[in-house]
Amino acid sequence: MLSMEEVFDPLRKKYVALTPEENVRQQFIRYLNEKRLWPLHMMASETEISIGEVKLRCDIVCYGKDLCPKMIVECKRPTVKISSRTFEQIWNYALILKVEYIVATNGMQTFACRYDGEKKQYVFISDIPAYAEEKKEETMTGGNDIFLKDKIFKVISETAAEHGVRAFVIGGFVRDCFLQRPRNDIDVVVEGSGIEIAQAVGEKVRSKVSVFRNFGTAMLKHNGVEIEFVGARKESYNRNSRKPIVEDGTLEDDQKRRDFTVNALAFSLQKEDYGNLVDPFGGVADLQKGLLRTPLDPDITYSDDPLRMIRAIRFATQLNFTIVPESIESIKRNRKRLEILSRERIAEEMNKILLAPKPSIGLNLLLQTGLLDEFLPQLSALQGVETMEGRGHKENFAHTLQVLDNVAEQSDNLWLRWAALLHDIGKPATKRYESGAGWTFHGHEVVGAKMVPGIFKQLKMPLNEKMKYVQKLVALHLRPIALVEDAVTDSAVRRLLFDAGDDIDDLMILCNADITSKNEAKVRRLKSNFQMVRQKLVEVEEKDAIRNFKNPITGELVMEYYGIEPCNLIGQIKDYVKEAILDGTIENNFEQAFELMKAKGAELGLKHIKT
């Protein structure tokens, strides 16, 4: 077994004096900071893995010239001895993460090992390999060329050099490299003409280039990835518009105009410092801490382009980051600036918030900052609890967000999530207090369904089948719950299947998500009964085929059989047959339906006309 001294002596002698009383993790972090080799990514710092009795905290730290991943595993229970078996399990975990070097300690024991590619296992080492030499640049950190291995980056680099300009990869691609998120598009900023470089690159890689001269941008697709080119610029804004006045600028100017520090990161594509990170605003540090802050004064950033306020909340929701307090206060101060935005852009950001793993984070922030009042006040109206005669009602905004999160765990269907968000939107308008009975919201599903088209129109969202789908689910969201609380009859199930049609499965997801209560026994009872309803739906559907119900009796058949022209009698006969099938009086087949049609026709005084 290696002692702590044996592991860290090479570091002490070769690079930096380490204070003996510091623990292993602190020593590594201190070394990285002093050598300006900051950790590029900490995997959800505070992530715990349990191996038997031992709980371990794992941080992935990238550093050194080749930026190969290293892992520090620090035991959070220093009195527990780390066994060989425990280490095998740590190694298996590290293998999944493609970790090359491991240093582990529990405060008493320390081990160091590296992955042996030939043996395909971890072996103990007595020395830590040499690290990168200290960089002279004060504002750049190199070695990120591991993220730029695709040949397209070299092509862009060479093309920019040929044209005598500098080019950088900037924004979301760089951010997501450090966050280890999928990277589906690349933004390239050029200190010169982005369109010119894009066209030259397009010729080299034989890709079609789309040019948007009004915006000074060009885009091409290469190996399924969209690459957008833009000239570095500085911007100024007219207070009544979010469209900027643009001037040519430098990389620094371009980074200043970015919305957040984590989106202002750039990789150099110049041959002399290829892959160097340009991080003037501490974006990497903010990534590590999970913070969202603006490069400049937030009042300037948000007032210039108010959409950035909703984008801040969207990023906080998607990345589970924290918006710094000064930004939160600035958003509150500037919320009225949303009036200059198009509703379509707001709806686009709302959709991205709703598609996040836990959309309630964003909705709570929208409410907290006052932004929700500016574009969706109907939802804000759900907030609060009113009390009469000592009796209060459920806090409907919090309940709505719980339902939304519940649905998000089950489905990534955007419009089902909209239905969850709006399912109780009619409650404020229907809220009544009845002495002795308490608070009621009778008919809120009907009122809510009527509100859906207005809300979609208000946000300039599609008024097509997507809106009708949301409207239908809002209108029907109480029906399965009513079945849970009442007797589950075949007739009621048939009618639910008929009304919901192909959307029955989504409706059941919404209704199951809607079962929320602080009374755990009540929730267990309702969810148990809900499973009975699901089973009944399957049984009735298999027997009666109601989901895609088509009336066996058509209007053409009635007119031909009785020799009549179009009239209301035809509708009466068809409805009579439909109701009989849904009530279970007859089966859903042509023979029984035809006999019932003849009986109803006779009752209405109609006679068969032979042809």
**Assigned domain for 133 exists:** no
pLDDT over threshold 90, residue 394: no
In contact, 524 and 568? CB cutoff 8 Å: no
**Assigned domain for 386 exists:** no
pLDDT over threshold 50, residue 388: yes
Please say which residue of 288, 317, 351 terminates a domain: 288
106-129 burial string, b = 16+ CB within 10 Å, else e? Answer: beeebbbbbbeeeeeebeebeebe
**Assigned domain for 160 exists:** yes
DSSP 450-513: HHHHHHHHHTT---SHHHHHHHHHHHHTTHHHHHHHS---HHHHHHHHHHHGGGHHHHHHHHHH
pLDDT attached to residue 237: 56
- Label residue 383 by pLDDT band (50, 70, 90): very high
- pLDDT 10s digits, 198-229: 999 999 999 999 999 888 899 999 988 999 99
Asked which of 119-128, 276-285, 320-329, 571-580 is least confident by mean pLDDT, the reply is 119-128
Max avg pLDDT among 76-85, 90-99, 106-115, 571-580: 571-580
Helix (H) or strand (E) holding 309: helix 307-319
Please check whether residues 87 and 178 belong to one and the same domain: no
Question: Greater confidence, 77 or 591?
Answer: 591
Please check whether residues 65 and 170 belong to one and the same domain: no
Residue 207's CATH number = 3.30.460.10
Tokens of 380: 């804000």
pLDDT attached to residue 536: 77
Please check whether residues 260 and 368 belong to one and the same domain: no
**Assigned domain for 390 exists:** no
Residue 532 backbone phi and psi in degrees, to 5: -65, -40
pLDDT attached to residue 537: 80
pLDDT attached to residue 547: 66
* Chain mean pLDDT for the chain: 79
pLDDT attached to residue 402: 95
pLDDT attached to residue 96: 53
**Assigned domain for 397 exists:** no
Please check whether residues 493 and 576 belong to one and the same domain: no
pLDDT over threshold 60, residue 50: no
Asked which of 124-138, 145-159, 395-409, 545-559 is least confident by mean pLDDT, the reply is 124-138
pLDDT attached to residue 3: 41
- Label residue 38 by pLDDT band (50, 70, 90): very low
pLDDT over threshold 90, residue 152: yes
Averaged pLDDT for residues 79-100: 52
pLDDT attached to residue 73: 45
Averaged pLDDT for residues 112-133: 54
Averaged pLDDT for residues 14-41: 42
**Assigned domain for 385 exists:** no
- Label residue 87 by pLDDT band (50, 70, 90): low
pLDDT over threshold 80, residue 484: no
Tokens of 144: 């990120």
What is the pairing mode between strands 185-190 and 121-124? unpaired
Please check whether residues 330 and 419 belong to one and the same domain: no
pLDDT attached to residue 525: 77
Percent of the chain with pLDDT over 90: 48
Please check whether residues 307 and 334 belong to one and the same domain: yes
Beta strands per DSSP E along 191-341: 209-212, 217-222, 225-231, 233-237, 244-248, 266-268, 277-278, 291-292, 322-323
Averaged pLDDT for residues 572-597: 88
Please check whether residues 228 and 317 belong to one and the same domain: no
- pLDDT 10s digits, 413-445: 999 999 999 999 999 999 998 887 888 899 999
- pLDDT 10s digits, 332-378: 999 999 999 999 999 999 999 999 999 999 999 999 999 999 999 99
Helix (H) or strand (E) holding 392: strand 391-392
pLDDT attached to residue 56: 47
- Label residue 406 by pLDDT band (50, 70, 90): very high
pTM equals 0.69
Averaged pLDDT for residues 567-583: 89
pLDDT attached to residue 128: 37
- Label residue 391 by pLDDT band (50, 70, 90): confident
In contact, 166 and 157? CB cutoff 8 Å: no
Q: Helices marked H in 184-297 — which ranges?
A: 194-205, 251-256, 283-289
The helix/strand count (H/E) of the chain reads as: 27, 22
| CA separation for the pair 122, 104 (Å, rounded) | 13
Order the strands of the 167-170 sheet from edge to edge: 140-141, 277-278, 266-268, 167-170, 185-190, 225-231, 217-222, 209-212
| CA separation for the pair 507, 477 (Å, rounded) | 7
Please check whether residues 279 and 145 belong to one and the same domain: yes
pLDDT attached to residue 498: 81
- pLDDT 10s digits, 451-464: 999 999 999 999 99
Please check whether residues 147 and 275 belong to one and the same domain: yes
Please check whether residues 115 and 83 belong to one and the same domain: yes
Residue 315's CATH number = 1.10.110.30
| CA separation for the pair 523, 21 (Å, rounded) | 52
Asked which of 108-117, 127-136, 461-470, 498-507 is least confident by mean pLDDT, the reply is 127-136
Averaged pLDDT for residues 580-608: 88
Averaged pLDDT for residues 163-172: 95
Please say which residue of 375, 404, 435 terminates a domain: 375
Please check whether residues 42 and 182 belong to one and the same domain: no
pLDDT attached to residue 198: 96
**Assigned domain for 322 exists:** yes
- Label residue 75 by pLDDT band (50, 70, 90): very low
Max avg pLDDT among 81-95, 446-460, 536-550: 446-460
**Assigned domain for 269 exists:** yes
In contact, 201 and 155? CB cutoff 8 Å: yes
Residue span of the structural domain in which 191 resides: 140-288
Number of domains present in the structure of the chain: 5
Name which of 437, 408, 442, 210 is nearest 318 in CA terms.
Answer: 408
- pLDDT 10s digits, 177-194: 888 788 889 999 999 999
Please give the DSSP secondary-structure letter assigned to residue 38: -
Please say which residue of 124, 155, 171 terminates a domain: 124
Residue 430 backbone phi and psi in degrees, to 5: -110, 5
Please check whether residues 235 and 176 belong to one and the same domain: yes
pLDDT attached to residue 104: 53
pLDDT attached to residue 342: 94
pLDDT attached to residue 139: 34
Averaged pLDDT for residues 17-37: 44
